[in-house]
Amino acid sequence: MWVAKKSAVGMVIAMTCALFAGCGERGKDERASYETCLADAKRDQRVAKASFANYEGASVHGSTGDAGLRVNIPYELDGKKGVFQCVAEKQTDGSFKVTN
C-alpha cells in the first residue's frame, strides 16, 4: 500500500512539473508572437506611427487545433484608439511568422 501511494505521489509531481514546463513555453511563445506582430504593425503604413501597447497591454490567444496565435495590440494614433490584429504562426525553427 505504501509503495502505491508513493508511486501516485511521484506521478502527481511529474505531471505538475510537466504542466508548469509547458506553461513556461507557452509564455515564451506568446511573447514571441507579440514581438512578431508588433514588428509587422510598425511596418504597416496605416499605423506605423502609432503608439502601441506593451506586451502586458496586448492580448494573445490560441485556438484549439490552430497553430497560430491571435494577437491584439491596442494603439493610439492622432488621438484615436484602435487595435492592430494579426495571427502569428510558429515555424519549424521556433520563430513566428505573420500569416494574415
Total domains present in the chain: 1
> pTM of the entire structure?
0.72
Residue 62, C-beta contacts closer than 8 angstroms, at least 6 positions apart: 68, 69, 70
The tens digit of pLDDT for each residue in 59-83 reads 999 865 667 999 999 999 999 999 9
Place of cell 514571441: 32
100 confidence band (pLDDT: 50, 70, 90): confident
Cell of 11: 506521478
**Domain span at 60:** 2-98
The tens digit of pLDDT for each residue in 13-59 reads 444 333 334 445 668 999 999 999 999 999 999 999 999 999 999 99
